Amino acid sequence: MLKPLKILIFSVSIGSGHDSVAYSLNEEIKSRSERSEVKIVDTFHYINTLFNKVVVGSYMETLKFTPKLWGYLYQQAEEGDGLVDLGQVLSHLLSPKMDKLLQDFKPDVIVCTHAFPVSILSVLKKKEKINAPLIACITDYTVHNFWVQPQVDLFVIPDIDLINPLIKEDIDTKKIKDYGIPIRKQFKEVYSKQQMRTELNLEDCPTALIMGGGLGLGNIKEITKKLLKESDLQVIVIAGKNEKLKADLEELKFQNKLHIYGYVTNIAKVMSACDILISKPGGVTIAEALTMKLPILILSSLPGQEDRNTHFLLNRGLAVKVRKIDDLITEMNLLLENPVKIKQVKEMASYLKKPESTSKTVDDIWTMAQE
């Protein structure tokens, strides 16, 4: 019987990806040891609820209205130019509350699913206020400088290509594990496309899945209207937590081939019922789509991490990038009607997918807790 552990997981509730990784790890830990205690901390909310509203609100406004500004800030931070050391600032704000949390909870291992808490906790660890091993689960197919901290004991990376950028920053290769982004246990199951269509009350016909991340970002309504008008595909839209988008899409529901969901918990089943994914290139979404061997069509990507994720997909022949919505149907048909391309995508996805990512990460959590 495994010894029960006390695990602190620090996330940031921007979108759904970082939280999804945290809950995936929690699910796996609890499945092995029900008596283990896992505490998931929403980092900015924990610092201060007003601070959380300002930071997350500003971030969302920037993404919606001035995405190029976000891209510039991301690149500046990536290159280490002209920005304050956010880790130093936030660790100073957080230190009193963090000390109490650590003293009260006494974690065996600390895991971060977002770069900001990695930076904060590394400062505290450098000051010897943290003794527990610190694990960084990188959740995009790129390595931003905020992740790269010498105090981190283990880096869990999405793909082998991220090893060299870490080595260049003097990270010991023994600290780097190419396990993949931790995803939910449901993605380890094998699903029949026809059976899932029946279970989800879908027609057994070619089907497109439209996603915009957990916050439903992107020009989803226009994409949906275009697909309904100009293609014969059955369309599933996941609006995430965007209630306004969900309500807007309901106006199109007179089309029998349109199916609308909000935030879903059975995403593996939904993906398995589909033939193509039209989505923003978020790291967790990519990891999930790879596991289901689902071709990806990218219409919009945010400057910064999503642009880097797009490069990863395009360089490996896993996705098609559409620059204008007017080209959407043409590019989609060229992909779906090309059996050679579809075969290539599925073979490359089979090679790159990492359905055991969560299990392997939790294996190391237990090992590090015993050391």
| Cα–Cα distance list, 214 to 137, 227, 360 (Å) | 19, 21, 25
Helical (H) or strand (E) element with 235: strand 234-238
Mean pLDDT value of segment 181-206: 96
pLDDT higher than threshold 50 for residue 65: no
Question: Higher model confidence: residue 304 or residue 133?
Answer: 133
Q: How far apart are CA 247 and CA 229, in angstroms?
A: 19
Domains 6-183+355-370 and 186-352 alike in fold: yes
Least confident window among 10-14, 17-21, 294-298: 10-14
The answer to whether 286 touches 264, Cβ cutoff 8 Å, is no
Summarize pLDDT for 76-94 with one digit per residue, the tens.
555 555 444 555 566 566 6
288-306 mean pLDDT: 87
pLDDT at 89 (0 to 100): 61
User: Structure pTM?
Assistant: 0.88
Residue 177: φ, ψ to 5°: -125, 125
- Cα(307)–Cα(298) distance, integer angstroms: 10
Q: Name the average pLDDT for the chain.
A: 86
Of all helices (H) and strands (E), which one includes residue 336?
A: helix 328-336
Confidence bin at 127 (pLDDT 50/70/90): confident
Which band of pLDDT confidence, cut at 50, 70 and 90, is reported for residue 48? low
> Does the domain made of 6-183+355-370 have the CATH classification 3.40.50.2000?
yes
CA distance 313 to 334: 17
The arrangement of secondary structure in 186-352, i.e. its CATH architecture, is 3-Layer(aba) Sandwich (3.40)
Mean pLDDT, rounded, for 279-302: 91
Backbone angles phi, psi at 217, to 5 degrees: -80, 155
Helix axes 220-230, 243-250, angle to 10 degrees: 20
Q: Transcribe 6-73 into DSSP letters.
A: EEEEEE--SSSHHHHHHHHHHHHHHHH-TT-EEEEEEHHHHH-HHHHHHHHHHHHHHHHH-HHHHHHH
For residue 360, the surrounding DSSP H or E stretch is helix 357-370
Rounded Cα gap, residues 235 and 212, in angstroms? 14
Domain extents in the chain: 6-183+355-370, 186-352
Token pair recorded at residue 128: 């010897």
Confidence at residue 218, expressed as pLDDT on a 0 to 100 scale: 60
Nearest to 118 by CA among 260, 12, 269: 12
Looking at residue 79, its pLDDT comes to 55
The 3-state DSSP composition of the chain as helix, strand, coil percent (nearest 5) reads: 50, 15, 35
